Chains A and B, each alone.
Chain A
């Protein structure tokens, strides 16, 4: 397939699900109303850390209208998204870990009745020491929030060395050390999580849920309910936004399933906004220390990154998140030696997890802000510095990530040109500034969450005599447009209109497995599977048409709902006729396609986080105005260029880029998952400061600046029609670009996000007092790091294995134990 033959791909189109979305006809999980349906509410812990001494739901059960009350004793098996962190119960039986941790459920005729009955459940707590910060968790080993993990309240500590960074620092002309803090924030999807469970007429369980990962929910349900997976069906309803917030199996999903099974009636739950803040799994607050050695010309000699993650109360994806804070640093610029140490601790707050960019924005923020400082010190323009050191295509990085194509240099050149950077950077009047930053992201995680060697995505096609095609895939439409990508790929290959295709997605009974809508994997993996399935279907049709028209198959063109002779376009048949011809020969027509990512080169423990079939690249320039008297910040324009390989539907791609800028500006300027600790002498309370969509600040349409988006398209050999990801990467450069722009505008460094007017005033005051002109963290805590796993980089003769590693467990063993040592995502 070459460019000239593409009819549909690359042209902006109205997405296939657009009509239903804008007319309000899309059915979300909360729209499901079933006969005899009951409603569920969860009683959540009102204390941050305690043992449950006694729990009694008798009075709630006696309340009129209540059908069932469940507590921790009704669930025997823990679950969790990662095999290594099966640390959650649907209802916690003995030990609550944050305000919001569910302990009981009431199922009643309506929500109000269920809510009222919650107050009748008696719970006696024995308070335990509360851990509100990583420092407290590092300091006190007891009481442990969980009985597993590295030690005390350290969930996971890792240390990876790729070459000798100390030697690299010794050989550098300048060594920079900076400490940064990235505040936690949440996804804030407009749709609150909802789920409905019911028994099928044949007695099997069905769960309709707003989930990004029906396949993983399916597995978790089988485990937690101790049921055959074949008797469970999970239907992922279209999500009203996901962003990673619906990537875990959730307690409420398991609870409504259990209730539906016990009562043999449909049971629904729709979380309140407060409860969504308690589900969280959002951005980890990360404290980080960057040490970077550079030569006078800007060449990097080595980087040593240390991170501490505030994990909250449960594991979630945390082990993977920890690795991701240090995994993707090497993709953008050439880093010959690299050391990464990361540590995730438990605290008594809602669990953190994957939010758009999963673990990467934090480290990327520090890296790009530090690079801005380096450029200034070396008196090199920051754009020029980056252009000098961009990583080359077809390179294996120090930590064994395979860069194939990279459009980073072009992205930088595009935003530099569009923003008139050369004439304006460091030249605008005081109070106005420009900042630049870059980034890279995975086009799908190279490894699944549980160890297996099966495809990551499967697509099935059914071809109908009418000319209609049905495309089945487990991928989940979370608003990103995956249904449109699916039908777009199939339509392109078969030469029909996307609207001729019905997509059936995210249903574990009806669709082949796709691992889910996370890690920017769907376009690349599902797209490749769809192309394979469609090419196989085309083969059948070509055979039928070839025989009928007596034209060699190789000369047939599939376009405009016809199959015709390339040399005589008038000679052809309609697409539906082609289906009939093929069906007459082969019988009922159906094909499948699947995609498995290439094996990663890296072979060390912890190398599961980072590998990807290919990586996207982005560069952004942000323009700000900062008021010197109030610190008030206004972002006036954003130029962003994204190397997407190829935009399958540019309308969707631009939407993703602009949405990323929007989310990035929120994180840069205002979003904060903050907590309140009441005075200890008066109260044990540790509560989310404002679990509300009003007081948790996220930008409105009025706060958005103009965004100038450039798509850089050089097709990548591993992507469908050359496409790479666009869902997460463009978020990453926004936050550091804002910080760098603020410095250009007003001459102070804000080494943390969010960057608020208060912090700018404090930094200006510090500057006026002769102190460093910055606001940000000063100290990095002492962490008991484990022995560094030494992996020589490729240019030192390394083969991707650690030279001081204990032998890896064999695959057989890993399968049996269900909890492989290797970290995957």
Chain B
């Protein structure tokens, strides 16, 4: 089997300790929570930190509170999060996203914070050392060229997190803690459309908490495209959240696409087109067309890029029809192979 390289493992008990350990090893250390992303990457030598700062014993990252909105510790496992979100409500999209990450085994150890910081993915990058050597590596690790588009000045690896589009649609904010300071920001500001520098998080910062505002009157949903009913990362995802007025017209809307760029993409024009409208078939179809415009899938994931682009409007339509109240269970079963 593939073996991990040697590394030093540090086990802080508090966020403060963790932040100090990162500060002491700014170039060499990485955080590990569930390890389902970084450890396979280390086996393939995509990431070779000399030090791993393990967060599993940091109790303060594992809380979840429901006061004015939701405050979720970044160290909560996806299974724990799904268990907490059992009751349907405005946060449905988050539950649906979390429950479709990878497999039950991986969700049992993988954390919400880990999924939000998931390394961007690409068929030319998520390969072992020998394979990458055979293509003379790529710009994301050890090489110069982006093989997805050889003239591209930047890396085109794909944002493949399920939970980020859902949380963006819900308007989440996050907290980052370093040895020097604590800062809060909109989750949207965490991401950049660059396959290498895809996070604005500093290497010395710990993502500690995710806050979702109180969303009375909102409803949300998450649709994920992947080849199979389990395991696979999304190759397109649609998170949508709507606030409906008593007369059924849309008061506010957010539509976020995942896995179509190096960061989640907000389909603002599509969302704006819904505001003030009732969710008629025409309004939904128009939003679907508009949402597909910013989707820029590349040839570096499963399925062909033309087809992924082609079905974007279908998936946006599914999400909006579900929010309208249509019974989408049959379609959901066909697409997701399970009811989520």
Kindly supply a per-residue 1/0 record for chain A positions 313-334, scoring 1 wherever the CB is within 8 Å of any chain B CB and 0 otherwise: 0000000000000000000000
Complex interface residues of chain B between 321 and 340 (CB less than 8 A to chain A): 334-335, 337-338
For A275, the closest partner residue in chain B by CB is B130
Q: Decide yes or no whether A274 CB sits under 8 A from chain B.
A: yes
Alpha-carbon gap, A606 to B304, bound state (A) = 41
Alpha-carbon gap, A484 to B328, bound state (A) = 47
For B306, the closest partner residue in chain A by CB is A758
- The contact of A99 among B126, B134, B307, by CB within 8 Å, is B134
For B145, the closest partner residue in chain A by CB is A682
For B311, the closest partner residue in chain A by CB is A630
Kindly supply a per-residue 1/0 record for chain A positions 746-789, scoring 1 wherever the CB is within 8 Å of any chain B CB and 0 otherwise: 00000000001110010000000000000000000000000000
Q: Decide yes or no whether B136 CB sits under 8 A from chain A.
A: yes
Q: Decide yes or no whether B3 CB sits under 8 A from chain A.
A: yes
Complex interface residues of chain A between 235 and 273 (CB less than 8 A to chain B): 270, 272
User: What is the CB-to-nearest-CB distance from A375 to chain B, in angstroms, rounded to a whole number?
Assistant: 28
Alpha-carbon gap, A115 to B136, bound state (A) = 19
The answer to whether A46 and B150 touch (CB under 8 A), given A690-B123, A702-B337, A703-B228, is no
- The contact of B135 among A110, A625, A683, by CB within 8 Å, is A683
The answer to whether A111 and B3 touch (CB under 8 A), given A631-B307, A670-B227, is yes
Whether B126 lies near A692 (C-beta < 8 A) is yes
The answer to whether A632 and B335 touch (CB under 8 A), given A112-B5, A682-B145, A700-B228, is yes
Whether B230 lies near A702 (C-beta < 8 A) is yes
Q: Decide yes or no whether A47 CB sits under 8 A from chain B.
A: yes
For B336, the closest partner residue in chain A by CB is A702
Whether A692 lies near B314 (C-beta < 8 A) is no
Whether B3 lies near A112 (C-beta < 8 A) is yes
User: What is the CB-to-nearest-CB distance from B15 to chain A, in angstroms, rounded to a whole number?
Assistant: 32
User: What is the CB-to-nearest-CB distance from B136 to chain A, in angstroms, rounded to a whole number?
Assistant: 6
The answer to whether A758 and B150 touch (CB under 8 A), given A272-B128, A274-B131, A630-B314, is no
Alpha-carbon gap, A625 to B128, bound state (A) = 37
Complex interface residues of chain B between 215 and 246 (CB less than 8 A to chain A): 227-232
Q: Decide yes or no whether B1 CB sits under 8 A from chain A.
A: yes
Alpha-carbon gap, A687 to B150, bound state (A) = 17
- The contact of B1 among A272, A631, A690, A694, by CB within 8 Å, is A272
Q: Decide yes or no whether A549 CB sits under 8 A from chain B.
A: no
Complex interface residues of chain A between 106 and 122 (CB less than 8 A to chain B): 110-112, 115
Q: Decide yes or no whether B183 CB sits under 8 A from chain A.
A: no
Whether A685 lies near B2 (C-beta < 8 A) is no
Whether A691 lies near B150 (C-beta < 8 A) is no
Alpha-carbon gap, A694 to B306, bound state (A) = 22
Alpha-carbon gap, A783 to B337, bound state (A) = 44
Whether A270 lies near B1 (C-beta < 8 A) is yes
The answer to whether A694 and B231 touch (CB under 8 A), given A112-B3, A679-B150, is yes
Kindly supply a per-residue 1/0 record for chain B positions 3-18, scoring 1 wherever the CB is within 8 Å of any chain A CB and 0 otherwise: 1111000000000000
Kindly supply a per-residue 1/0 record for chain A positions 173-194, scoring 1 wherever the CB is within 8 Å of any chain B CB and 0 otherwise: 0000000000000000000100
Complex interface residues of chain A between 72 and 122 (CB less than 8 A to chain B): 99, 110-112, 115
Whether B232 lies near A46 (C-beta < 8 A) is no
- Chain B residue numbers with a CB within 8 Å of A46 are 130, 133-134
- Chain A residue numbers with a CB within 8 Å of B150 are 679, 682
Alpha-carbon gap, A683 to B136, bound state (A) = 8
Q: Decide yes or no whether A44 CB sits under 8 A from chain B.
A: yes
User: What is the CB-to-nearest-CB distance from A672 to chain B, in angstroms, rounded to a whole number?
Assistant: 10
Alpha-carbon gap, A664 to B232, bound state (A) = 20
Q: Decide yes or no whether B127 CB sits under 8 A from chain A.
A: yes
User: What is the CB-to-nearest-CB distance from A122 to chain B, in angstroms, rounded to a whole number?
Assistant: 14
- The contact of B334 among A47, A627, A687, A700, by CB within 8 Å, is A627
Alpha-carbon gap, A694 to B5, bound state (A) = 22
- Chain A residue numbers with a CB within 8 Å of B228 are 670, 697, 699-700, 702-703
Whether A44 lies near B130 (C-beta < 8 A) is yes
Complex interface residues of chain A between 642 and 684 (CB less than 8 A to chain B): 670, 676, 678-679, 682-683
Whether A111 lies near B1 (C-beta < 8 A) is yes
Whether B5 lies near A695 (C-beta < 8 A) is no
Whether B134 lies near A694 (C-beta < 8 A) is no
Complex interface residues of chain B between 160 and 190 (CB less than 8 A to chain A): none
Alpha-carbon gap, A629 to B227, bound state (A) = 17
Interface size class of A (residues with CB under 8 A): 35 or more
Whether A761 lies near B335 (C-beta < 8 A) is no
Q: Decide yes or no whether A150 CB sits under 8 A from chain B.
A: no
Q: Decide yes or no whether A689 CB sits under 8 A from chain B.
A: yes
User: What is the CB-to-nearest-CB distance from B205 to chain A, in angstroms, rounded to a whole number?
Assistant: 29
User: What is the CB-to-nearest-CB distance from B63 to chain A, in angstroms, rounded to a whole number?
Assistant: 32
The answer to whether A632 and B334 touch (CB under 8 A), given A111-B3, A694-B231, is yes
Q: Decide yes or no whether B302 CB sits under 8 A from chain A.
A: yes
Q: Decide yes or no whether A26 CB sits under 8 A from chain B.
A: no
- The contact of B130 among A274, A629, A689, by CB within 8 Å, is A274
Q: Decide yes or no whether A596 CB sits under 8 A from chain B.
A: no
- The contact of A678 among B126, B135, B303, B334, by CB within 8 Å, is B135
Complex interface residues of chain A between 580 and 599 (CB less than 8 A to chain B): none
Whether B337 lies near A692 (C-beta < 8 A) is no
Whether B229 lies near A678 (C-beta < 8 A) is no
Alpha-carbon gap, A702 to B228, bound state (A) = 8
Kindly supply a per-residue 1/0 record for chain B positions 131-144, scoring 1 wherever the CB is within 8 Å of any chain A CB and 0 otherwise: 10111100000000
- Chain B residue numbers with a CB within 8 Å of A758 are 303-304, 306-307
Q: Decide yes or no whether A634 CB sits under 8 A from chain B.
A: yes
Kindly supply a per-residue 1/0 record for chain B positions 119-130, scoring 1 wherever the CB is within 8 Å of any chain A CB and 0 otherwise: 000010011101
User: What is the CB-to-nearest-CB distance from A105 to chain B, in angstroms, rounded to a whole number?
Assistant: 14
- The contact of B229 among A676, A689, A703, by CB within 8 Å, is A703
- Chain A residue numbers with a CB within 8 Å of B91 are none
Whether A695 lies near B302 (C-beta < 8 A) is yes
- Chain A residue numbers with a CB within 8 Å of B337 are 700, 702-703
Alpha-carbon gap, A625 to B337, bound state (A) = 13
- Chain A residue numbers with a CB within 8 Å of B338 are 702
- Chain B residue numbers with a CB within 8 Å of A627 are 334
Most buried by B among A627, A630, A685, A761: A630
- Chain A residue numbers with a CB within 8 Å of B310 are 630, 761
- The contact of A691 among B131, B147, B227, B232, by CB within 8 Å, is B131
Complex interface residues of chain A between 268 and 285 (CB less than 8 A to chain B): 270, 272, 274
- Chain A residue numbers with a CB within 8 Å of B303 are 756-758
User: What is the CB-to-nearest-CB distance from A653 to chain B, in angstroms, rounded to a whole number?
Assistant: 27
Whether B127 lies near A692 (C-beta < 8 A) is yes
Whether A700 lies near B230 (C-beta < 8 A) is yes
Kindly supply a per-residue 1/0 record for chain A positions 681-720, scoring 1 wherever the CB is within 8 Å of any chain B CB and 0 otherwise: 0110101111110110101111100000000000000000
User: What is the CB-to-nearest-CB distance from A268 to chain B, in angstroms, rounded to a whole number?
Assistant: 11
Alpha-carbon gap, A629 to B126, bound state (A) = 31
Whether B334 lies near A625 (C-beta < 8 A) is yes
Complex interface residues of chain B between 93 and 151 (CB less than 8 A to chain A): 123, 126-128, 130-131, 133-136, 145, 147, 150
Whether B136 lies near A685 (C-beta < 8 A) is yes
- Chain B residue numbers with a CB within 8 Å of A629 are 311, 314
Alpha-carbon gap, A46 to B6, bound state (A) = 25
For B318, the closest partner residue in chain A by CB is A630
Whether B314 lies near A115 (C-beta < 8 A) is no
- Chain B residue numbers with a CB within 8 Å of A701 are 230
Whether B334 lies near A634 (C-beta < 8 A) is yes
Alpha-carbon gap, A46 to B135, bound state (A) = 8
Alpha-carbon gap, A703 to B337, bound state (A) = 6
- Chain B residue numbers with a CB within 8 Å of A702 are 228-230, 337-338
Q: Which 10 A-B pairs have the closest CB atoms?
A: A702-B229, A758-B307, A702-B337, A112-B3, A46-B134, A700-B230, A685-B135, A634-B334, A630-B311, A697-B227
Additional A-B contact list (14), CB under 8 Å, known A47-B134, A702-B229: A111-B1, A270-B1, A629-B311, A630-B311, A634-B334, A679-B150, A682-B150, A688-B131, A690-B123, A695-B123, A700-B229, A756-B303, A758-B303, A758-B306
Report 9 cross-chain contacts, Cβ distance below 8 Å, ordered by A residue: A44-B130, A112-B5, A272-B2, A274-B131, A632-B311, A683-B136, A690-B127, A695-B302, A700-B229
Which B residues fall within an 8 A CB radius of A?
1-6, 123, 126-128, 130-131, 133-136, 145, 147, 150, 227-232, 302-304, 306-307, 310-311, 314, 334-335, 337-338
